[in-house]
A = this chain, B = another copy of it.
Amino acid sequence: MGRRADHSRAELRELIIEEGHRQMAAQGFARFSARQVARAIGYSVGTIYNLFPSLDHLLLAINTHTFALWSDFVRRRLEGVGEDRIAVLVQAYFDFASEHTNLWMAIFDHRLPPGMPLPAEDEEKRRELTLIVIREVGGLLPNRSQSEVERLARSLVATVHGHCTYALNGSFDLMGETDPAGLALTRVRESIAAAKVA
């Protein structure tokens, strides 16, 4: 067939990403398949390849979309919170990962093939979440330079990320840890306290 005019090119792109996102949430990275996405929206695989040069590009788009949801999730949790915003931030990070485990893990499961850099557009969209953290950390450290704040913020995100990974893959369960998010928050507080006095 030719143009079915069911959807414009942009609409179709969006449709594919949405359905892909749905399937990623339901089945996880390992079971994800472009053919199944095509079947679900009533097109053939070739159409996906008309919109996305390769599966990697589709996965990239799906994961960037997850980043957007994640940022929104965290932003909403912070709205109107006056005290202890860092605690809310850390908990929101964990909660999103717990509530959307497959989507969250897919972000880190997908490794770009060597020589294919993360497109600037995706990079920019994904940066949003880091910017939120930088803003919050900066608010707590008025005497620190922007570059110091950014470096610390990235480091704190890495800290929380590590705890979240171990929480979700069962490493913490295995040794009876019942509050990984609390543990992460403790680490974050220690580092912020250290940055205040240093």
The interface of chain A, by Cβ under 8 A from chain B, is 28, 30, 105, 108-109, 111, 118, 123, 130, 150-151, 154-155, 157-163, 165-166, 169-172, 174-175, 177, 180, 183-184, 186-187, 190-191, 193-194
Q: How far is the CA of A108 from the CA of B164 in the complex (A)?
A: 13
| Complex Cα gap A171–B158 (Å) | 10
> Using Cβ atoms and an 8 Å threshold, which residues of chain B touch A193?
194
Q: Do B111 and A30 touch across chains, with their CB atoms under 8 A apart?
A: yes
Copies of this chain, whole number? 2
Contact of A111 among B105, B118, B162, B187 (CB under 8 A): B105
Grouping DSSP codes into helix (H, G, I), strand (E, B) and loop, the A interface class, with mixed when no group exceeds half, is: helix
Lowest 3 A-B CB distances belong to which pairs? Answer: A162-B162, A158-B162, A161-B162
* Nearest Cβ on chain B to A120's Cβ, whole angstroms: 11
In the assembled complex, which residues on chain B have CB atoms less than 8 Å from the CB atom of A157?
162, 166
Bound-state Cα–Cα, A184 to B151, Å: 11
Q: Which residue of chain B has its CB nearest to the CB of A151?
A: B177
Whether B158 and A165, one on each chain, are in contact in the complex, defined by CB atoms closer than 8 angstroms, is: yes
B175 with A166: CB separation less than 8 A: no
CA–CA, A190 and B184, complex, Å? 13
